[in-house]
Structure 1
Amino acid sequence: MTSSITVRAAVRADMPEVARFAAQLVRLHHALDPHRFLCLEPIEPGYERWLTSELGSPDAAIVVAERGGAEPVLAGYAYGRREPRDWNSLLDACGVVHDLYVAEPVRRLGAGAILLEAMLARLRALGAPRVVLHTATQNTAAQRLFERFGFRRTMIEMTLDL
């Protein structure tokens, strides 16, 4: 059911709420594996600065999901970029979905799918010939969403704590 959820390009006024979502995404990953995922509090101010600066980048896209009603509220966001060739990762120029987050009360209502669809359209418009992303091993719900869109597994990251 996506009728009450719409997606639009993010604007400066959205950035405090988007930064809160980004911080929740960081905290989620950190809770899954605190040895792998960095979490330097407070998270929100840095993300707000970074994502605000990305609003003006010709290589970046930030979209937000809004839940309709008398007072529409933000329900999630996605952040992606067109990235150059990366010889170290053996990755040609591509689009990268860096973040996709849906607020807990709106999960399983289709917001993730419409955010991902909008991000893929924006990365395609930026000239990305392919799109890559990373997802936490434990985040099986996200992996199912990505697979429904045709993403395939290409790398497995492994970590050793020393």
Structure 2
Amino acid sequence: MRQREHTDMEIRKAKLNDLQHLTVLFDGYRQWYGQEAALEAAGQFLEERLLNGESVIFIAYVEGVGAGFTQLYPLFSSVSMERLWLLNDLYVDKKFRRMGIGEGLLKAAQAFAQETRAKGLTLETQVSNLSAQRLYDSTGFKKEEDFYHYFWKA
């Protein structure tokens, strides 16, 4: 399927003045993962991340409307003794899909990883999320075959 091009797209590192657009997108992202709508809590969560410097968020705008975002969290590799970034969230509002926004957000995250001299970006996605997997494959991400993902619930 051919992607639609859009000439008036801007991707930038999010700041507090992007919070209103970002909150709507973040809440949509959470709902996509089956969570209840929680706009106020979503805004508070994002505001805390930005104020405390705990994440780096890139937001995409199309004609001044928030269209998508990606959020990175800092990590470090003890083995290589290098920084890396966890690409924890990537979301494009359904009205803006197939316009290259997801790819643009990933490229912004990759450029940021290079600028910060990081080892790279790491991410995970659901096994059933085939469209995301195709996007990651097309932008240079490689599936790790020799590691298992574990989770301990507190």
Shorter-chain TM-score bucket reads: 0.7 to 0.9
Percent of matched pairs sharing the same residue: 23
Partner of 2:49: 54
Shift of 1:11: 2.1
Count of matched residue pairs: 144
Partner of 2:72: 80
Corresponding position: 1:116 with 2:120: no
120, 123, 128: which one aligns with 1:130: 120
39, 42, 55: which one aligns with 1:44: 39
Residue identity in the other structure for 1:124:
Q
TM-score using structure 2 length: 0.79
Q: Which runs of 5+ in 2 are unaligned?
A: none
Partner of 2:24: 20
CA separation in 2, counterparts of 1:122 and 1:141? 24
Deviations 1:28-81 (A, max 9, x none): 222xxxxxxxx3x4432232122222224556311111102xxx2111111112
Root-mean-square deviation (CA, aligned residues, Å) is 2.5
TM-score using structure 1 length: 0.76
In structure 2, the CA distance between the partners of 1:145 and 1:112, relative to structure 1 (3 Å rule), is same
Stretches (4+) displaced over 6 A: none
Q: Which runs of 5+ in 1 are unaligned?
A: 31-38
